Amino acid sequence: MPDIMIKAHSVLQKIFGFKDFVSLQAQIIAHVMAGNNALVIMPTGGGKSLCYQIPALLFDGLTIVVSPLISLMTDQIQQMRENGVAAVMLNSALEPGTYRANMAKVKSGTAKLLYVAPETLLKDSLLELLGSIRVDCLAIDEAHCISEWGHDFRPEYRRLTAVREQLPKAVCMALTATATEQVRRDIKNCLGLGENTEFVSGFDRPNLFLEVAFKDNPYRQVLNMIRRHPDQPGIIYCATRKQVDRLALLLTQDGIPALPYHAGLSDVERKGHQERFSKDDVQVMVATIAFGMGIDKSNIRFVIHYDLPKNMESYYQEIGRAGRDGMKARCLLLYSYGDIHKIKFMIGRMNTSRQRTANLLLTTLLRYVETDVCRRRVMLDYFGERYGQETCGMCDNCLATKSAPEDLSVAAQKLLSCVKRTNESFGVEHIIDVLRGSKAQKVLRRGHHRLSTYAIGLEYSRNQWRHLARQLLHKGFMSQDMEYGGLHLTPKAWALFRDQTSFRGFLPAETSIPEEAKKKTSTEAERIPHDPLLFELLRKKRKRLADEAQIPPFVIFSDRTLTEMAARMPRSKESLLQIHGVGQVKERRYGPVFLDIIRRYCDENSISEDRPPAN
Ligand code: ADP
Ligand code: ZN
């Protein structure tokens, strides 16, 4: 191993408290330390920050990090400081006194890392200062903002090209979580990164459990998810502000600390809510998709989409906020035919050129929603990545017990003839109402309770009928009106009536809750078997310390770190340093307090010192 990488490794362990580099970190750091530019594409939570933070500590001169969001900057600076790294920031939100003090630290070389907003970096006074000192690295976070082809173009990012020219000796790193081929090319051209500079790591987030469920009783589905994660943070995304407010209120009334977050709130309210979530003061954030860009919280254990996301790319971004600490997190997407129909209706009113794109985006999303193969495979496929395995074991489809398809011709005939009897003008839900003998007004008013197909489908649950309907649509036995949602029979349906063909498919077990969900009763924040009581003690301590220091708890230690402590129960400084996320500075700062809790707990419970570490 070259010297520089031995040093890099030692910084990783001593400062950050991590054992090994993950994904492409080591290659990227070696590449940058050799003076080469780099374009780094890694999914959210993939570990991009270390790719510039470690070089920053190894270079003699300054490393500049351009970041578009002040809240992200603040979080990162706090985390760096907790690790004992001299990092400062400059942006328009700072008090003049702090701003000047930070400028002085940059000038004197006390600061190794400067986080800066793009518009601040463009200021003459700062550029002048930077021209007079040694700058070794310019890292541009969220680099897709530079491209007009990206989903978040920011004009001030484009002007960074000029800054780059003023700092010709600094290596340049551009980092982003999403970039299509076009955006990548744009970033490289704008910043003059040159060839052979791309590092693309896989998009898979193996610790995210992916599941999709029909919106059966959405509020109950939400409660179920929250109850299996007691006291653990989660986000619920809704399509409208009204829905956000309603859901946040309902949850609060049910004793679950939840806050709304959407564009209808004032800046101050939004900031306040975000801070309280960040500090673990409220458990659940109910939000429109506006929420999330600026959060660095690593212990989010679940993300629920109460409504369909906009498209596959935003879905990936939104669930990307879960489980950044590497521990298991659940991502549940709820959908209904009504939702899909609403979107189709809106698409129908667009002009033709936009219609085509919108339809395409919806189709890819529905492919994910309706698939019965591994969801991870479908998702990665969208990003042009081939998933090596047939099954992932971390999605609902992979866990569902797959049996051979059954002959469901009779059930299919019942459903199709009910479509026929109601004149091919109703959607799936109404058809199921009739089949299951519902006394709903909508059924009675139309006299559908007098049809021969009324109440002939009691042997299956609503959910089972829905599955059946979906398969009939997929296999072309019926089609759905794009505009009104009504079902229509196809020639294949007529062939089935005449027994010229059969229909084979799957029916889910009686309940819509996946098998795996029924078995699990305990919380599953983590796969590491640990002592929950000790974890609680440690968590409470962390919360108290965080409140005193006015920083979010995860800045002190991540959940993963506490979980490992509660599993391995280190009694000495040396063994504490072995725990994930415990570096030298944090050990010095917090080690004694946490060791004290662990020691006392072990004494009280007669747990002996040589307890083997759990794996
Ligand atoms: P990104 O910026 O790519 O979204 P981060 O840099 O914030 O991701 O890293 C995500 C999480 O992974 C953080 O909690 C970080 O502490 C952790 N992490 C990063 N690198 C390592 C590593 N080598 N070993 C263990 N954990 C790591
Ligand atoms: Zn899977």
| Nearest ligand by distance to the CA of 46 | 1
Delineate the domains of the chain, giving CATH numbers in brackets: 3-200 (3.40.50.300), 208-399 (3.40.50.300), 406-505 (1.10.10.10), 532-604 (1.10.150.80)
Enumerate residues 6+ apart whose C-beta is below 8 A from 379: 203, 210, 312, 316, 368
* CA distance linking residue 193 with residue 187, whole number of Å: 8
Average pLDDT over residues 584-592: 93
Report the candidate in 330, 308, 258 with the shortest Cα–Cα distance to residue 513.
330
Q: Phi then psi for 595, rounded to 5 degrees?
A: -60, -40
Mean pLDDT value of segment 546-566: 89
Mean pLDDT of 487-515: 79
User: Mean pLDDT across the stretch 186-190?
Assistant: 92
Which token pair is 79?
């985390």
Q: Are 165 and 29 in contact (CB under 8 A)?
A: no
Q: What is the position in ligand 1's atom list of the atom closest to the CA of 558?
A: 14
Instruction: Give 514's pLDDT tier (boundaries 50, 70, 90).
Output: very low
Parallel, antiparallel, or unpaired for β 302-305 and 234-237? parallel
Q: For residue 602, what are its two tokens?
A: 């072990």
- Provide the pLDDT for residue 293: 57
**Residue 474 and residue 367 in contact, taking contact as beta carbons nearer than 8 Å:** no
Report the separation in Å between the CA atom of 269 and the middle of ligand 2, taken as the mean of its atom positions. Answer: 39
Residue 592: predicted pLDDT: 95
Q: Who has greater pLDDT, 177 or 221?
A: 221
Predicted local confidence at residue 523, as pLDDT:
40
List, for residues 266-286, the tens digit of each pLDDT value.
989 998 999 999 989 999 999
Q: Can you give the pLDDT at residue 164?
A: 92
Contact 322, 330 (CB under 8 A): yes
3-state secondary structure of 550: coil
Q: What are the residues facing 75 on neighbouring strands?
A: none
Q: What is the mean pLDDT of residues 508-516?
A: 49
d(CA 235, CA 385): 27
Q: What are the pLDDT digits (tens) for 375-395?
A: 999 998 887 778 888 889 999
> Would you place residue 506 in the very low, low, confident or very high pLDDT band (cuts 50, 70, 90)?
confident
Structure tokens belonging to residue 447: 């006299």
Q: DSSP 3-state assignment of 318? A: helix
Q: How many CB atoms lie within 10 A of CB 474?
A: 13
Nearest Cα to 135, choosing from 110, 173, 169, 85? 169
Please tell me the distance from the alpha carbon of residue 256 to that of residue 87, in angstroms, as a whole number: 37
Q: Report the nearest atom of ligand 1 relative to the CA of 22.
A: 23
DSSP-derived pairing of the beta strands 478-480 and 487-489 = antiparallel
Question: Poorest-confidence range of 256-265, 381-390, 588-597?
Answer: 381-390
Q: Mean pLDDT over all residues of the chain?
A: 88
Residue 1 has pLDDT above 90, yes or no: no
Task: List beta partners, residue 487.
Answer: 480
**Ramachandran assignment for 31, one of left (phi > 0), alpha (psi -120 to 50 degrees), beta (any other):** alpha
Reported as a single tens digit per residue, the pLDDT across 523-546 is 444 467 788 889 999 999 999 999
Q: Looking at residue 512, what is its pLDDT?
A: 39
Ligand 1 and 209: CB distance under 6 A: no
State in Å, rounded, how far the first CA of the chain is from the last one. Answer: 28
Is 357's pLDDT higher than 80? no
Give the CB-side neighbour count of residue 352, counting CA atoms within 13 A: 0
- Residue 447 region, left (φ>0) first, then alpha (ψ -120 to 50), else beta? left
pLDDT tens, position by position, 421-438: 999 999 998 999 999 999
Beta bridge partners of 208: 329
**Contact present, 585 and 552 (Cβ < 8 Å):** no
Helix 559-568 to helix 532-549 angle (10° resolution) is 140
Bridge partners of 236, per DSSP, are 286, 304
pLDDT tier, 193 (very low <50, low <70, confident <90, very high otherwise): very high
Residue 149 has pLDDT above 80, yes or no: no
Q: What is the DSSP letter of 377?
A: H
Confidence band, pLDDT 50/70/90 cuts, at residue 518? very low
Evaluate if residue 111 carries a pLDDT over 90: yes
Report the percentage of the chain scoring pLDDT > 90. Answer: 58
pLDDT for the residue numbered 353: 73
> What per-residue confidence (pLDDT) applies to 282?
95
What per-residue confidence (pLDDT) applies to 474? 78
**In Å, what is the CA distance from 444 to each residue of 398, 416, 420, 486?**
41, 20, 18, 19
pLDDT for the residue 526:
47
Return the minimum-mean-pLDDT range out of 8-12, 131-135, 231-235, 370-374. 370-374
CB within 8 Å of 204: residues ≥ 6 apart: 43, 376, 380, 385, 387
Q: Scanning the structure block, which residue is given the tokens 């667009």?
A: 350
CA angle 292, 297, 299 (to 5 degrees): 120
Pocket residue to mutate for ligand 1, from 10, 15, 18, most atoms within 8 A of Cβ: 18
Mean pLDDT of 535-564: 90
Ligand 1 proximity of 32 Cβ (cutoff 6 Å)? no
Q: Is the CB of 299 under 6 A from ligand 1?
A: no
pLDDT value, residue 418: 95
Task: Report the residue among 49, 76, 297, 325 best suited for mutation to probe ligand 1: largest number of ligand atoms under 8 A from its CB.
Answer: 49
Q: Is the pLDDT of residue 52 over 60?
A: yes
Mean pLDDT along residues 192-199: 90
- Given a cut of 50, whether residue 511 has pLDDT beyond it is no
Token pair, residue 150, equals 């990206």
Which atom of ligand 1 is nearest the CA belonging to 554?
14
